[in-house]
Structure 1
Amino acid sequence: MLLPLPPGDFQAYLFDCDGTITDSMPVHYQAWQEALAEWGADFPEDLFYAWGGRPAADIIVDLNARQGLAMPVATVNEHRESLFQSRLATVQAVPGVLQHLQDAYGRVPFAVVSGSTRDSVTASLTALGLLDRFPVLVCAEDYANPKPDPEPYLTAARLLGADPATCVVFEDTELGVQAAKAAGMAYVKVPPPWERAGAG
């Protein structure tokens, strides 16, 4: 199922990574559940998807505050990331997004704009054989204000030398869509896994 583009003559395609290029959100959730279990932290699946696009360290800080816990942020985050990367072989690309990548590659410049770390994004794209498609990666280390702030997407446009008004964003989360809108960019909303499964 090819996701329809909004009207416009786009000079750059900007992609979120997890849940947009990579169908990795279910695998991320499994990794979160395992990493948090030893600390007795609760992370319901609906909240996991609602918080999609947020840096993992921020999520751990918020879970600590909400649940009166003192999880060591760096330790939990590293464990979660190692659990995720150990399962990367099971992750596939999102078909409707992969088709856009194949159709426009070489014609329109691409960037990845992610709330994940550069190591995580690089590992995911390498596992899918797509890393060489993206000359620009804007990851959690590369900006001060995460999505829904426009800074991550505006940073990618600047690095590509593209006018934000000529960029189209591919996003699976509401925070990401808000960031694209705030940056003055058109966007394509990528359906979550349960909706894509029903689309055949």
Structure 2
Amino acid sequence: MKLIKRPRAVFWDIDGTLITTEELHYEVIRDWCAARGYTLTETANGELLGKTMPEKWAILESRLPAGLTEDEFRADCARAYMAGLRADMMRPGPVAAVKRLHELGIPQAAVSNGEAPVIEANLRVLGLWDLMAFTVCGNDVPSGKPAPDPYLEAARRAGCAPGECMAVEDSTVGVTSAASGGLITVAWPEVIPG
């Protein structure tokens, strides 16, 4: 086992790491598409996982009727998603870790491909909004995860070298983002294989 020194900052992914919302994301986008005549299957939804909303729109646009806009898609989905959030979606272990790190005085931030209002809504429903020094959303960087940009921006805002920061992620996309940025990377999936 490799021992690591205490990180100067810890960055948390949200969806799947702090809160289990994959099903909610699917339901929101599925229902939005269905109301406009397109059936989003679970298989088709697989193409959307880990993507920013603009990336999701780019995938869906050609499958939807003409005349719909990305702004409409993003706004409608954000509203429905935030309305569907519940505190019982939290992952207790990671949420407890955020609280403990806060008690220890380690600065923390949320890093997500999501949009700022959605990130805030997630953190508020979990009671973690006031424990985060800042957030980095998909709109803050040129490229979202799996590119390293979100985590490099978080390290910059924290005033730390990437190697002095720890990222906690649940997905391959997120782990790739953090590790390629040179951060200490912890994979904490919802289900541990084996």
8 Å contact from structure 1 (residues 14, 111) kept in 2: yes
CA–CA distance in structure 2, aligned partners of residues 14 and 92 of structure 1: 20
Task: List per-residue Cα deviations over 1:55-87 (Å, max 9, x = no partner).
Answer: 11211211224x375442111221111111111
Task: List per-residue Cα deviations over 1:7-43 (Å, max 9, x = no partner).
Answer: 3112211111122112222222211111111223343
Structure 1-normalised TM-score? 0.84
Deviates more, 1:112-121 or 1:22-31: 22-31
Matching residue of 2:3: 7
Matching residue of 1:182: 180
> 71, 79, 84: which one pairs with 1:82?
79
Q: Which structure's relative contact order is higher, taking Cα pairs within 8 Å and 6+ residues apart?
A: 1
| CA distance 1:16–1:74, shift in 2 (3 Å) | same
CA–CA distance in structure 1, aligned partners of residues 87 and 101 of structure 2: 26
Deviates more, 1:37-46 or 1:166-175: 37-46
User: Structure 1 stretches of 5 or more lacking a match?
Assistant: none
SS of alignment partner, residue 105 of structure 1:
helix
Question: What CA RMSD, in Å, does the superposition of the two structures yield over aligned residues?
Answer: 2.4
8 Å contact from structure 2 (residues 17, 188) kept in 1: yes
CA–CA distance in structure 1, aligned partners of residues 136 and 26 of structure 2: 22
Instruction: Determine what percentage of the aligned residue pairs are the same residue.
Output: 26
8 Å contact from structure 1 (residues 15, 169) kept in 2: yes
Count how many residue pairs are aligned between Structure 1 and Structure 2. 191
CA–CA distance in structure 1, aligned partners of residues 79 and 2 of structure 2: 37
1:90 Cα deviation from its structure 2 partner: 5.3
Task: List per-residue Cα deviations over 1:152-176 (Å, max 9, x = no partner).
Answer: 1000011011211121111122221
8 Å contact from structure 1 (residues 57, 74) kept in 2: no
| CA distance 1:91–1:68, shift in 2 (3 Å) | same
SS of alignment partner, residue 60 of structure 1:
helix
Deviates more, 1:95-104 or 1:44-53: 44-53
User: Structure 2 stretches of 5 or more lacking a match?
Assistant: none
